[in-house]
Structure 1
Amino acid sequence: MDKIDIEMLRLLQEDSRMTVSQLSKQLALSRPSVTERMHRLQEKGIIEEFTARVSPAAIGRATIIFIQLSELKITPQEFEKRIKEEKDIIECHRVTGQTSYFIKAAVSKIEGLGMLVDRLIPFGNINTSIVLASPIPYRHLLPEQE
């Protein structure tokens, strides 16, 4: 990746709806060059997808929770298969250490947290933390430059 690719990533992360024409102007490249670079970044897996970020609070899911699951009672493969069906869970990461999984969930009310915990208890020990504030809710990523 060169400086132009990195700048393209920065621009697209700021506004993924930016058109090829807009990118072309910003990067001082032809539209075919921009399109070719974008396709190459997608083929390499650097750009995974183009998506819209939705505010959990704006759709009635203002309570964000981090859940630590430890002492798993079923195989990781079985747990991961079953956890994909949980619509309240927005992220799930298998990790090293005493905790097996870190899970991020968004629920509408504390009652929703209780119901989610009840559904997760059969899989292992649960430790929950409710998010009070998010000083860095999301950060754009760029490769480190040498």
Structure 2
Amino acid sequence: MSRSTFSSELDSFDLAILRILQNDSTTPQREVGEQVNLSAPSVQRRIKRMQRDGVIAVQAAIVDPARVGLPLTIIVEIELKAETGGKIDEIKETFLEAPEIQQCYYVTGEVDFVLIVIVSDMAEYEDLTQRLFFSNHNIRKFKTFVTMDRTKTNTSLNI
């Protein structure tokens, strides 16, 4: 579904509500209503509809990794030996099950996957590489980028 098709299903009130909730999902519905000129019950109905329709996928707290002992963000490029449907699904499942992998992207280009990994230290990352990369016979090679700074990690969409 294209962005324009999707956007036409959401009116300006829905988009305004989403902008507020992306910034702080704990904003009281009364306050959201005041900001978008709707009643709190109307805001509540719209939020429930957007949750039901999957527009609002999840409401969660965004935790600063460094403040919970996970200061190291690593970006990993993965190149596979064989890129068949079954092999792709198998490796996706492996990555989905690894709690250290915060984000996983199946991409086009010179590599097949790009991962965002959050760990406490290099020893934990080395353990992950042994467990997931070296032990997987379909991984041709992987390239690691250790981040110096988490300069921008925005979760809000530009809607």
1:5 aligns with 2:14: yes
Equivalent pair of 2:72/2:118 in contact (CA under 8 Å): yes
Query: How many residues are aligned here?
Result: 143
Structure 1 residue 71, shift from structure 2 partner: 2.0
The structure with the greater share of residues assigned to helix is: 2
Structure 1 residue 139, shift from structure 2 partner: 4.3
Q: In 1, distance between residues paired with 2:98 and 2:81?
A: 17
1:1-146 correspondence to structure 2 within 5 Å: 1-72=10-81, 75-119=87-131, 120-123=133-136, 124=139, 125-143=141-159
Q: In 1, distance between residues paired with 2:63 and 2:53?
A: 26
Identity %: 27
Over the aligned positions, Cα root-mean-square deviation in angstroms equals 1.7
Secondary structure in 1 matching 2:97:
coil
Q: In 1, distance between residues paired with 2:153 and 2:127?
A: 25
**5+ long unaligned stretches in structure 2:** 1-9
Structure 1 residue 142, shift from structure 2 partner: 3.3
Secondary structure in 2 matching 1:16:
coil
Equivalent pair of 2:75/2:114 in contact (CA under 8 Å): yes
Q: TM-score, normalised by structure 1?
A: 0.88
Secondary structure in 2 matching 1:140:
coil
Structure 1 residue 37, shift from structure 2 partner: 1.2
Equivalent pair of 2:70/2:121 in contact (CA under 8 Å): yes
Secondary structure in 2 matching 1:11:
helix
Q: TM-score, normalised by structure 2?
A: 0.82
Q: In 2, distance between residues paired with 1:46 and 1:72?
A: 36
Q: In 1, distance between residues paired with 2:37 and 2:73?
A: 41
**5+ long unaligned stretches in structure 1:** none
